[in-house]
Structure 1
Amino acid sequence: MTGTTPTAWQQRIDTLLHALADARRDAAAAQAREVALLAEAVEIAHAMAQDAGGPTSVADIPIRSLAAQIGAAARVSDRTVQKHMSDAVVLVERFPATFAAWAAGDVSRGHARVLVETGAAIKDDAARAVFEDAALEVAQRETPGRLKPAARILAARLHPIPLQERHTAAATAREVWVRDLDDGMAELIAILPAAIAHGIRDRLDQYARRVMDARGAGGGASPGGTTDGSLHPDTNSTNTRPTDTRRVSEVRADVFADLLLTGHASPDVSNDAIPAGEAIIARVQVTVPALTAAGHDDAPAELIGKGPIDTATALRLAGTATGWDRVLTHPVTGTVLAIDRYRPSDHLKRTLRVRDEHCRFPGCRMPTGRSDIDHTTAREHDGPTELTNLAHLCRRHHTLKHHSAWRVRQTPDGILHWTSPTGRTYPDHPARTLVFTTERVDTHGDPDPPAEPPF
């Protein structure tokens, strides 16, 4: 294809994208068809058990036998097949709208898995139908990764037991244990409240990256190390330390062990450039509905990008913050309209952090703390420095925007409309609009008055 014009390349790519979309729809339909057949297999097995009329101790023999037959034909373990059969019944019978959307190719297996996992705790059929309708709307425009925290928030709002009560019960399962691995290694596993667990991981990330940057600056490597995450000091340096070839994941693990065993980062781990014991505070972003904070509602608080957390933890974290952001959102869409704070600070950056939560390229979840604030219309093209012309982009997608044929425009509601080199448009909605306002449904299926906006 030497000498092919840009238009010809675009036509070829566009044809490829159409073919991939068709292939994905066909694959989704085939996967959904398999699920329907597995659910039918369970129905057949139950009918066989009833016809047999044998003792209850062997009532599950027909389903075991059928699972074994399917497994033998497909060269899959019969235990795995039986688990898939059980999952298929749950999807087909309890989540019919999700199954239909999957069969039509509107959502993927990943989307369906998220909806079933997050909605399974909703036992009431009417409430679960509300959950499906709202969550599927988001699933049809977002990746499974972005869908999951939003779906968790909606499921928490519709759950009949308040989140605080469920969290209190779940917290009794806090535990730490060790699982031995091969080659002299082991896993240290902990079950902790979500805010604490993510705070620990964030602090480890910060410390590990400072270690990497300090080693890189001291040894002549660029901050952050080489492309594989390792650091190779300048061979002409008088530094007698051995060459540090650790990836950032290894440094993170070393910092974790050092902080737990000694209470501070030792020079062997942290590098002399970082004073031992220097505090690095973990960052967690929490949103608390105003009525919940005032004690007038039980709508769950949210650990941004992860899902709901109990109100007591959210208020305790908020109580230690140096200031509060007051977020004004649209009562229906949830779009961030304004933000203010009693204490002076960088108003616009705070607003963007609350609105975006992560990189605004479709499907990307890189946190705002590791993303750039980009002018949608460049300043050299008279783009203003204001909310409706700014958005967070991670370095990868920031570079893509400026050095490829991708184009983007932003509407006043904060939606970024990305246009690919072949002319396809992909809207990216602010994360705040993924949190739904729904009607509460009681166990009798009678809706209460519309709930207060969640934020």
Structure 2
Amino acid sequence: MSIPAYLEDRDGEHRLPLRPPGTREESHRTSAEEAEREHQTFLGTLKQTALELFDAGPINGPTDALEALKKIQRLQSSTEAAIAYIMADGVEHVSESFNDLISTEHPHSADEETAAAKSAACYGVDRGSEQIINSNFIAESSVALRESNRKVSKRMFHAKGLRHVCKNTLAALAAGEITVKAAHDIVKFCQDLSPEQISLMEQILLPMAKTAPDEAIYQRARRLHDRLNPDSAENRQRNALAARNVRMWNDEDGMATLQLHHSADVIHSINNSIKHVASQITDPKDSRTQAQVEADAFADVYLNGWPGTEAMPLKPRVSITIPALEMLANPSRGLAELEGYGPIPLGVALKIAADAPSFQRVLTDPWTGAAIDVEPKRYRPSQGLRDLLRHRDQHCGFPGCRRPADSSEIDHIEAYGQGGHTTRQNTHLLCKQHQMFKHALGWKVLACPDGSKTWISPHGLRSITIPESVSNVENFDHLNDHCPQRPEDETTPVVRLTPETRRVLSLDQDEDLPDTGTG
């Protein structure tokens, strides 16, 4: 049994016996000799293993391959230990000087500093609080590691747990003696325990973790946690029930998953009910598998109500961008864009659109795919701009953030109060959290002529983001100050003005496309 994904969200630093920031001695060396000793501890094995792997030369047979795999496992463990050591110490050090950093790392004018202070007050944040410093450092680490904010947040949980709570586990991980999974499971099941109980858990589990499979360590850690946890099983179940939720994530090939996390009796009741509904479908001509029938029954029940009831069907709300020229050219191979998901087959999009109550035209760049204008009909300019940004950006524009357009707001790249205009060039979508990062925590964003954005973190890290609707970045140039170069004439697509094309482009039968002067 593996760790269910939804349980990961319940992990939290507040459940570990962490001392307050500034009192965590592990992150504050008292001498250069101590600093060098720790450097060797956390990076020495990593260096030695990498050299052994390289010096062994090319693989010559299965024995060499297996030996190389063992070294790679040690290398992965040592690398993860180094990341934990660096992240835990890094956030501890930045907490001592974050306010000074915001005002000195990227010099602000007096007006900008006043505006940042007002923004911090507006968002109700203390720029020196542990929570703000932690979340900001996680965002910067996400840029450095090129990983999602959620994954790096989980890394920080493990980093602090290993560095400040499970020190013996970190030492074993740095030496390559245990796997990353075993180390993370030990930290996970040290939550809600006292330092003495954690020491006992390490004493029992670490000798086994050097040879046992990860699954065995997970199961033993879980059982040991339940025995040592002073909280009653009833209280633990009550707290677990408080974390019930519904989650959705996108999969490949036009699929997605909906997950309900609830008490066992509710889940089993729902599962039994779905199986009962599916068992009533006995059409001999139905070629679906049992799993397909159950999945379809579950979807039908949710959208249309249980059989025999008069529940009002739920009309799904989706937004689809269908490229008109692809639809005319080759509808069997074209791709449309499902908002919040990405590309789906054009045929599927046309079936969904068949029930759409209305359409809205979106003008896209034929080379890059980026949305560049939205039909203004029936919309005030502000609504038209929001529609454009929703189609162009599709989600929050902060590096690595995927909060959808409906959870984001229009933000001015150059502040409106400093002369920035409310135009498509000077606006983008940002969620509430990353508006606060930009306006109160020293993050900067620059709009580049090619449509990309360059984000600069408080410590000077740079990350380039591109609007989600852009599908072709071949001619983008993020370094030089000019727009993407268009393809040569011989690669320019040719569109014939057939009656169908005129209809899609809203041209009269005797009207030609305007001359753009490009030949």
Question: Does the TM-score normalized on the shorter chain lie above 0.5?
Answer: no
TM-score (norm 1): 0.40
TM-score (norm 2): 0.36
